[in-house]
Amino acid sequence: MTTTDTRARARDAVAAAPVGILPTIEMRDVRRVAGPLLLVEGADSLAFGEVVTVVTDDGSERDGQVLEVDRSRAVVQVLGGTEGIGRANVAVRARFRAAVTGVGTDVLGRVLDGAGRPRDGRPEPTAEAYRPVNGLPLNPVARIHPDQFIETGFSAIDGLNTLVRGQKLPVFTAAGLPAAEVAARIATQARVPGESDEVVVVFAAMGVTRREADFFRDQFAASASGHRNVLLLNLANDPTIERLFTPRVALTLAEYLAFEKHLHVLVILTDVTAYCEALREIAAAREEMPGRRGYPGYMYTDLASLFERAGRVHGSTGSLTQLSVLTMPDGDITHPIPDLTGYITEGQVVLSRDMAGRGVDPPFDVLPSLSRLMNAGVGEGRTRADHRGLADQLYACYARGVEVRRLVSIVGESGLTAEDRRILAFAGRFEEEFVGQGEARRTITQTLDLGWELLSEFEPGELGRVGAEHVARHHRTTARSQP
């Protein structure tokens, strides 16, 4: 009876004042503290998914979220860790609202923590609106299919795995490879040819080291658009559980900027693996049935709830592009984290130790890389008419080159035909010159021309993937022989 009344009053209060003045209900009957979780008895005023404040007797406050309600009990996950919490010295205070975050353009140029609070010693940014961090699914009918080419300056991406606005393209990397450098270079150098629209970068660091965080901060500060970026930093030694909120706060902010403020937003999430490990930690603390490698069965759904928050929509000129960095444990692409991610994202760019070992810098491994939205973003009027065919041809020749290289390692070079030798030489130049571009930034025209230069080692008749008119126009020997 009384709880029903309280609840009704609370709902009315929420309806009247979204944030702020609310009735105070405190629950002190904490039965269990395990890992990041509290089990609270007498909590029937709590709703699933709601945020709460966890108060200890020394007056310190932490945020928490309700993970489960079961009759009068609730399971609360505590952001900011459970150190110092006992069964007797803690109270859970209801706030009667879903996890929301303030959004607005005031956050640009700020450094926030993993839950969206200031980390730069300045006051809380002004919120233009409050939005639930979990977001809502975009209506597929309201989406616009992404087709605007983004020039990243990397030949391996622009030429072969083209990124478009509104795409979600992760970088799969292995420990010790320069994924952070690649991500930072894309963030600071990416542009759309022929446009001067600014790109806003929302950078969410999940469980990264201080060194990496400093690196990103410096990169953004050094770039011309430093004031148009926002950094959310959940460092490796910050509470694990906050990591589950970091990407959601970042994406909520990004959706607002892209779809309501018409900005071109690039969200960089790093590192997805640290995020998934946080997810596993919570699942284990809840004693859930583990799935593959101990990761929870709902990891696909959970990751999808992040990655699907990208795109372009009708009614907005902005866009939300996602670039996440994912460290494949032991470089294994079939590990559940890269595997599930690959099924959700629109392709992947892979860095490999093998390439790094061969001295290819940046070490893009183009064969397992893929951009699913490439077709819409290339061709006449976007990049160049010969782009698609050229990319297919480079792929086909390189794949054969790698195959021949494997043969050589077994039988030696003596048994090779002349054709094999040419294809082998091509594969070497392709890695050294096309992929291994070092610090240089290439325009799309430079990338495509370089591709043609490499392919000119072959007879025009061998280039079956490219249209004859393009071969005639761009193939070096053919072009030369023309009057």
Partner 1 sequence: MSTTVSTPDGTRDQVGTVVRVSGPVLEVAGLPACRLYDVVRVGVQALPGEVIRLDGALATVQVFEDTSGLRSGDPVTGTGGPLSIELGPGLLGTVFDGTQRPLAALSAEHGIYIPRGADLPGLDRARTWEFVPSVVAGGRVEAGDELGTVQETAALRHRVLVPPGVRGVVEHVVEGSRRVDEVIARVQGHDVQMLQRWAIRRPRPVRGHQALRRPLLTGQRVLDGLFPIALGGAGIIPGGFGTGKTVLEQAIAKHAEADVVVYVGCGERGNELTEVLEEFPQLSDPRTGRPLMERTVLVANTSNMPVAAREASVYLGITMAEYYRDQGLHAVLLADSTSRWGEALREVSGRLGEIPAEDGYPAYLATRLAAFYERAGLVDCLGSTPRRGSVTVVGAVSPAGGDFSEPVTQNSLRVAGCFWALDASLARSRHFPSINWTRSYTSYRLGEWFDEHVAEDWSRLSAWAVRTLQEEGSLLEVVSLLGVEAVAPPQRVTLRVGRMLREDYLQQSSFDPVDASCPPRKQIAMLQLVKAAEDAMTAAVTAGRPVADVVAHPALRTVAAARGWPTDETLERHLDEAVAALHAALTTDEEEQG
Distance between CA 361 and CA 353 in Å, rounded?
Answer: 11
Q: In this complex, which beta carbon is closest to partner 1, that of residue 242 or of residue 365?
A: 365
Interacting stretch for partner 1, rule CB under 8 A, among 112-120, 173-181, 390-398, 475-483?
390-398
**String of contacts with partner 1 for each residue 75-104, x by CB under 8 A:** -----------------------x------
Bridge-based pairing of strands 347-350 and 171-173 is parallel
Report in angstroms how near the CB of residue 123 gets to partner 1 at its nearest: 30
- Binders of partner 1 among 115-134, rule CB under 8 A? 132, 134
Report in angstroms how near the CB of residue 422 gets to partner 1 at its nearest: 13
Return the residue of 301, 445, 477, 481 that touches partner 1, per CB under 8 A: 301
Is 8 buried (19+), middle (13-18) or exposed (0-12) by CB count in 10 A?
exposed
Q: In this complex, which beta carbon is closest to partner 1, that of residue 128 or of residue 403?
A: 403
Return the residue of 17, 193, 464, 481 that touches partner 1, per CB under 8 A: 464
Contacts with 119 (C-beta within 8 Å, 6 or more apart), sequence order: 111, 112, 113, 233
Bridge-based pairing of strands 111-113 and 229-235 is parallel
Return the residue of 36, 64, 311, 318 that touches partner 1, per CB under 8 A: 311
Q: Which DSSP letter does residue 227 get?
A: G
Report in angstroms how near the CB of residue 168 gets to partner 1 at its nearest: 8
- Binders of partner 1 among 43-62, rule CB under 8 A? 44-50
Check residue 251 for interaction with partner 1 (CB under 8 A). no
Report in angstroms how near the CB of residue 271 gets to partner 1 at its nearest: 20
Check residue 1 for interaction with partner 1 (CB under 8 A). no
Distance between CA 380 and CA 213 in Å, rounded?
Answer: 40
Half-sphere exposure of 293 (CA within 13 A, CB side): 13
Tokens 């039988």, located at residue: 411
Identity of residue 411: V
What 3-state class would DSSP assign to 103?
Answer: strand
Strand partners, 61: 55
Q: Quick one: which of 482, 481, 460 has its CA closest to 471? A: 460
Return the residue of 72, 189, 223, 225 that touches partner 1, per CB under 8 A: 72
Q: Which DSSP letter does residue 127 get?
A: P
Return the residue of 54, 157, 313, 423 that touches partner 1, per CB under 8 A: 313
Report in angstroms how near the CB of residue 440 gets to partner 1 at its nearest: 26
Return the residue of 314, 359, 472, 479 that touches partner 1, per CB under 8 A: 314
Bridge-based pairing of strands 163-164 and 149-150 is antiparallel
Return the residue of 52, 254, 373, 466 that touches partner 1, per CB under 8 A: 373
**Dihedrals φ, ψ of 321, to 5°?**
-110, 135
Q: Are 201 and 256 in contact (CB under 8 A)?
A: no
Check residue 308 for interaction with partner 1 (CB under 8 A). yes
Report in angstroms how near the CB of residue 273 gets to partner 1 at its nearest: 16
Is 44 buried (19+), middle (13-18) or exposed (0-12) by CB count in 10 A?
middle
Report in angstroms how near the CB of residue 98 gets to partner 1 at its nearest: 6
CA-CA-CA-CA torsion sign (204, 210, 216, 220): positive
Q: In this complex, which beta carbon is closest to partner 1, that of residue 336 or of residue 362?
A: 336
- Binders of partner 1 among 329-368, rule CB under 8 A? 334-336, 339-340, 342-344, 346-348, 367-368
Q: In this complex, which beta carbon is closest to partner 1, that of residue 311 or of residue 436?
A: 311
Q: Are 104 and 125 in contact (CB under 8 A)?
A: yes
Distance between CA 3 and CA 387 in Å, rounded?
Answer: 66
Report in angstroms how near the CB of residue 302 gets to partner 1 at its nearest: 10
**Dihedrals φ, ψ of 297, to 5°?**
-65, -25
Report in angstroms how near the CB of residue 220 gets to partner 1 at its nearest: 27
- Binders of partner 1 among 254-283, rule CB under 8 A? 259
Identity of residue 260: E
How many angstroms separate the most distant Cα atoms in the chain? 94
- Binders of partner 1 among 398-417, rule CB under 8 A? 399-400, 406-407, 410-411, 415-417
Return the residue of 292, 354, 441, 477 that touches partner 1, per CB under 8 A: 292
- Binders of partner 1 among 185-214, rule CB under 8 A? none
- Binders of partner 1 among 149-178, rule CB under 8 A? 166-167
Report in angstroms how near the CB of residue 306 gets to partner 1 at its nearest: 8
Distance between CA 458 and CA 118 in Å, rounded?
Answer: 58
